[in-house]
Amino acid sequence: MTDSSLKFKEQVAIVTGASSGIGKACAIHLANLGAHVVVNYSSSQDEGQKTVDEITSNGGSAILVKADVSNEEEVKAMFNETISKYGKLDILVSNAGLQQDAPFLEMTLKQWQKVIDVNLTGQFLCCREAARIFVEQSKKPQENNHNELSIGKIVLMSSVHDVIPWAGHVNYAASKGGVMMFMKTISQELAPHKIRVNSVSPGAIKTPINKEVWSDPQKYDGLMDLIPYKRIGTPRDVAKAVAWLASDDSDYVNGETLYIDGGMTLYPEFADNG
């Protein structure tokens, strides 16, 4: 274990899209803090297995589960497998997402639909299953060992593009804008059940999704113009915020979006008086 505080000891977490990037970092960080982690992947079994191996070699507990988050049956099967293996669920990190970029005038319905299906409908399917399990668990007092604290925590992976428009990426920006209102609405609806729902909105984080930008020195310099803090984020920067939102330390935080962006949403172009 790399962290001795183990604030998630005996808690069970599902992290979707945990075979790479931010999801992988979240899975490893939660496991290092004591959680049993369900590492979800959709296509790359080898990469998913690497996440599991890293967790178990640190002394942590994890299983690998394949599911396409946009497929209702596969999502249900993933949650069923989690309950079969660990007997309960405490945390969902609904992270899986992708980009399929094109100028608006050229974007195909297939490109639009794919991104909405994974980034928005995938959140709906995973959050609904998690919430159903949390509500059922809350009816069994012996499993609700949190007393007055939340009985289930959901953290959605959004993006700064839930507030920053993004030409050439309308499917992605629309999906993340949708994630914000989805998160706020279910947060309002689920709070009386003592289920907390919040989002994390990363800025530019160094992962495979944006390799084309950070691997090109000229594009990297251009990116720095958008980041007052003058560095690209790391998956671990995001994982630490996710862990806080999933922990009892944030028990009175509900329906919020936490921007992890080095100030990207601070309108940096106005820093010199615009």
Count the Cβ atoms, other than its own, within 10 Å of residue 168: 12
| 23 vs 152, beta carbon nearer ligand NAD | 23
Joined together, the tokens standing for residue 106 give: 């050229």
| 35 vs 126, beta carbon nearer ligand NAD | 126
Determine which residue in the list 11, 32, 159, 171 makes contact with ligand NAD, applying CB under 6 A.
Answer: 159
| Interacting residues with ligand NAD between 6 and 45 (CB under 6 A) | 16-17, 19-23, 40-43
Q: Is 157 in the site for ligand NAD (CB under 6 A)?
A: yes
As a 3-state breakdown, the chain gives helix, strand, coil percent values, each rounded to 5, of 50, 15, 35
Count the Cβ atoms, other than its own, within 10 Å of residue 256: 15
Out of 172, 252, 259, 267, which one is annotated catalytic? Answer: 172
Walk across the sheet containing 257-260 and list its strands. Answer: 61-66, 36-41, 12-15, 91-94, 152-157, 195-202, 257-260
| Interacting residues with ligand NAD between 92 and 111 (CB under 6 A) | 95-98
Of the candidates 211, 119, 101, the residue with the CA atom closest to the CA atom of residue 157: 119
Q: Is 170 in the site for ligand NAD (CB under 6 A)?
A: no
Residue 144 CB, shortest distance to ligand NAD, in Å, is 29
Give the interface with ligand NAD as residue ranges (CB under 6 A). Answer: 16-17, 19-23, 40-43, 68-70, 95-98, 118, 157, 159, 202, 204-205, 207-210
